[in-house]
Chain A
Amino acid sequence: MTRYGMAIDLTRCFGCQTCASACKVANNLPAKLVFNTVYTVGGASTDTATGTFPNCTMSYRPVQCQHCDNAKCVEVCPTGATTKDDDGIVSVDSELCIGCGSCIKACPYNVRTLIDAEPEYYLDVVVGESDAPSHKTGTVEKCTFCKNLIGRDEVPACMQLCPARARFWGDLDDPESMVSKAIEGRDHEFFMEEEGTEPKVYYLV
């Protein structure tokens, strides 16, 4: 069985935002919609450190839908719009979604957004893949694992090229996949593991 997952090597990520912006354009995301956020782990603002100079620390954590095996959002969705697909991807069917926001509350990762009004776009033209998500008013959206792209043998936008070579994806059940090989022999953690969500995004540490 295919079970899609990702690995992000936190020892390599240097917070460049390329994964986030690649996602934004490929999915034709409107101004207020973000699927992929690169958090600074350090000071209060992006790219600031904590500690006492020069004994400081700063790192980055890119966060998107963790495509949890034990997805809280799936559990709470009243209409069956949010489901875990056979390939392990957690997806939202915009036809079924009523925008009740239950999933947003249930998800600990702050990666789901309700499109509560007609979305505003940065540009007058439509960009991204022709089959990018529709961003329908009154529905909830989040990272789709770019299933449109992987469905035609391409790669998720955020994985196309990470400048740090910190991002890997593929079939977790296939030991030969890039993601499995990246994880192999490496210490890893899950984000907010204590939530019991069983995420499929492995953070290599």
Chain B
Amino acid sequence: MNEEVKGIMGFSRRNFIKGAAIVASTGALIGCSSGSDELDDASEVEFDDGTQIFAGVCRGNCAGGCFLNVHVRDGQVVRTSARDLPDTRYNRICVKGTTHVGRIYSADRIMYPMKRTGERGTGQFERISWEEAIDTIAEKWKAYTEEFGPGSMAVFSGSGNYAVCSGVAFGSAVSRFNNIMGTSVIPLNVDAAAGRAMGIITGFGPYGNNNEPVDFKNSKTFICWGANPTISQPQIMHFILDAKESGTKYIVIDEIFNANAAKADWFIPVKASTDGALAFGILNEIFAQGWQDIEFIRAHTNAPLLIKESDGMFLRMSDLGVAVVEGEESPYAVWDEDTKQAVALTDAKKPAIEGVSDVNGIAVQTSYDLMKEKIAAYPAEIASEITGVPAADIKELARIYHEEGPVNTYTMLGLNHYINGHYNYWSLFALGLCTGNVGKPGAATGFSELMPSNITNFMASFPADSAGTLCQGAGTTILINKVGDVLDTGQYIGKDLVLKGCYVTNTNPLATMADHEYTVSWFNKMEFIVVADMCLTETALYADIVLPAAHWFEQTDMFTSFGTSPYILWQDKAIEPVGEAKTDFEIYQAICEKMGYGDYWKIEPEDYIAAILDSDGAKALGITFDQFKVDKVARILPGEVHLSYEGGTFVTKTGRAQLYQEVVVPDYNIGQTIDESKEKAPYWEPSTYASESSEARKTYPFHLLSEHMRTRTHTQWWDCKYTDEYEPEPVLRVNPEDAAQLTIAEGDTVKMFNDRGYVVMKAVINAGLPRGTVSSGRSFQADEFIEGHFASLPPKEFNQVCANQSFNDVAVGIEKV
């Protein structure tokens, strides 16, 4: 099928020409600062019936960042459709993007500010004016600040909108608000395992360390490992399908058979969170066969660095008596095979990567040898027992990595949500590196979501007042699973921290955070809660003050973060906010003013967008605010087809990927004991609860996999009736034989439970699940369950170094009710 046939069928040329004339006629206005309260000057297209088309962005943290046409008639959004991106292959929309009207005009939309009149969680509220709302907030906030300091109020912002003015994109205005007010910060502590591992290995990640999707077709083999792009990244699935059509072999490694596995040439089922062991098994076979890419390893990883037996640190030239140049670190020493002596890494002609055990009497081992030693414990047969993948298949995968390249190992967060999560990713990346499948056309390992760190001026969120005095900066970041302790003890990591209140924005933690009962308990301990949202979420029901936030299309903004296309996008203000809604940006401004910090927020949304783009990175790419405002889209990846780590260059200290790290820096430090032997080199251990061999599975025999849903982004779209047609209620999916054993039939009501809580919902039979595993969509709210709460089941505990909620490290019992 040719590109033309696959081309995008948007608005016709005729309409665009008509639209272009409208832009030209109002062109004089472009560049003027339009206040945040004005609608955008003109849409590009106006139809005979008066329908106007504005530029919009869907941006609720689904990996999308879909550029949309917002169709407006008589000041009302009537429809949304996909809008052309400069490279139309990236055009995108989904079931959610087509149903924004269902959210904007939802019966669950919050129309005006409210204050609580009944018990928390019961939804008894009374309408108040904006003035009363802001006065109440400022009064409380001031009193707490005077008595306990600015950190006594925390801001809890999630991932509900990846824009910079009213959302939570990189450098967004909510950070500016925190920095001005000096608040404590409650982070999400999610998705951190992949980032931890890839950050150590490559210097950044996990976002943006795959090649851009137009490169997928250059792979001979595309291995989707720990991702379900048919549900979680529907915006790029067609690139995979294109690759398949052009001859790429599509392999899916997953615990369950789903819509993605159904597209695979080869589906390889793997037991939950044993993926690291599988990668070790493959690597073991690769080493046994001598299939590793020695020259890539030598040139692009820290394999040649020598680990001293005495202290686990790398051998440096200073250890060999070479004087340290003042102000510099002593260079790493390696063994040069050509000159048969120890030299600085940068001077070596052919650094040895194996077999070096002694340098000038110092006992050492190369990073590479140490890694191989660890991996040697996982021959294919052992890996097979752990993972459930037949040894022959493990060996075949090894052959494929060696012979059927270039290989793209495409992964996302499927391996992340386990307490052992980061141990899976390091070995996966090691596999890519040791077979040279990184940084080349068709060869990559990692995620394709992007972070815009290269174009973001973070100082935009750290303002000075008109006298030039910098704002105070945000206070303590409190781990999400410690908020309750802080409220109980008035202490955090040995320091006084009295927490009285919380401002919640762009998040619905009661429904999404692990260990629902814990979240409820600490919400109830907060003296004062403000929730700003578009709709009356489960979390909003716990607020003392509820603020109606504007929908994305009701304001000017810029999308930048976590999309899977290489663009930043402009949001036109397409309609006036519904009811009395205000943009989050305006709300921050109003609170700052009332609190006496108004001088720090003399800024309009467009100024903020301009400030964010005032960066060297944006300049280097030729991105200017003025042009961006006209084009409404700008590419933020360099080059025509961006290859991550092109040429094997990494952003670590040595420019090499790390197979070993000398110093372990935990993501968090609350005085926990850390077994460093697990953290310096690729390592694997089973998950705490999900693993078949866990204690938990003895009592609660099923692994519960919580799945993304097609129709919701986290809990967003719960308020949309259109999408409810397709996934109307929570269901537990269960293997037919397991169902038979539990005497569960299609549609029966079942209870899932463990030590933390329970939930009751309908069951459906799904042959796509292996025995012992059940799955369910993760995006429902309390009142959608027959009883209990799905979020009660996952644990809140963290890995020893990684602050990461483990939504899938869950064992449950199941009974028919």
Please report A residues at the B interface, Cβ cutoff 8 Å. 11-12, 14-18, 20-22, 24-26, 31, 34, 38, 42-54, 56-60, 122-131, 152-155, 157, 159-161, 163-165, 168-169, 178, 181-182
Contacts and interface: CB of A to CB of B under 8 A. Distances in A.
Q: Chain B interface secondary structure, helix, strand, loop or mixed?
A: loop
Interface string B370-384: 000000000000000
5 contacts: A25-B99, A48-B768, A124-B107, A157-B81, A178-B7
Given A53-B257, A129-B79, A16 B94 contact: yes
Interface string B1-39: 110111111111011000000000000000000000000
Contacts of A16: 94-95, 230, 234, 710
Q: Which 4 A-B pairs have the closest CB atoms?
A: A49-B768, A161-B82, A153-B12, A122-B721
Interface of B: 1-2, 4-12, 14-15, 47-51, 73, 76-82, 91-95, 97-99, 101-102, 105-107, 230, 234-235, 237-238, 241-242, 257-263, 267, 269, 710-711, 721-723, 725-727, 731, 733, 735, 746, 764-771
B93 A53 contact: no
B767 A43 contact: yes
A38 B234 CA distance: 16
Contact of B771 (A15, A38, A53, A126): A53
Contacts of A128: 78-79
Given A25-B101, A122-B102, A164-B241, A153 B767 contact: no
A22 B9 contact: no
A125 B764 contact: no
B163 to A, nearest CB: 22
A165 B241 contact: yes
A15 B261 CA distance: 13
B5 A20 contact: no
Nearest to A155: B9
Contacts of B9: 155, 159-161, 169, 178
A25 B77 CA distance: 11
Contacts of A124: 105, 107
A130 B50 CA distance: 9
A155 B307 CA distance: 64
A15 B237 CA distance: 12
A3 B767 CA distance: 42
A4 B769 CA distance: 41
Q: Which of A24, A43, A128, A165 has the most CB of B within 10 A?
A: A165
B125 to A, nearest CB: 21
Q: Chain A interface secondary structure, helix, strand, loop or mixed?
A: loop
Contact of B2 (A17, A57, A153, A181): A181
B765 A43 contact: yes
Given A48-B768, A54-B770, A130-B50, 6 more contacts: A14-B260, A24-B99, A25-B99, A124-B105, A155-B9, A178-B4
A85 B326 CA distance: 87
A18 B267 CA distance: 26
B5 A161 contact: no
A56 B768 contact: yes
Nearest to B728: A46
A22 B14 CA distance: 22
A185 B4 CA distance: 16
A89 B710 CA distance: 31
B15 A153 contact: yes
Given A43-B764, A49-B766, A126 B98 contact: no
A127 B106 CA distance: 12
B711 A163 contact: no
Contact of B98 (A21, A38, A42, A165): A21
A48 B765 CA distance: 7
Contact of B238 (A44, A47, A57, A165): A165
A58 B768 contact: yes
B567 to A, nearest CB: 16
Contact of A161 (B12, B92, B262): B92
Contact of A122 (B4, B238, B722, B764): B722
B339 to A, nearest CB: 53
Contacts of B49: 130-131
A161 B15 contact: no
A1 to B, nearest CB: 22
Contacts of A163: 92-94, 234-235, 237-238
Nearest to A12: B241
Contacts of A47: 258-259, 710
A195 B598 CA distance: 72
A161 B234 contact: no
A131 B51 CA distance: 11
Contact of A127 (B14, B15, B79, B768): B79
Contacts of A155: 9-10
Nearest to B80: A25
B81 A182 contact: no
Contacts of A57: 262
B93 A18 contact: yes
B767 A51 contact: yes
Contact of A49 (B95, B235, B262): B262
A79 B48 CA distance: 33
Q: Which of A26, A42, A53, A168 has the most CB of B within 10 A?
A: A53
A14 B81 contact: no
Contact of A56 (B79, B764, B767): B767
A130 B73 contact: yes
Contacts of A60: 259
B257 A58 contact: yes
A59 to B, nearest CB: 6
A165 B6 contact: yes
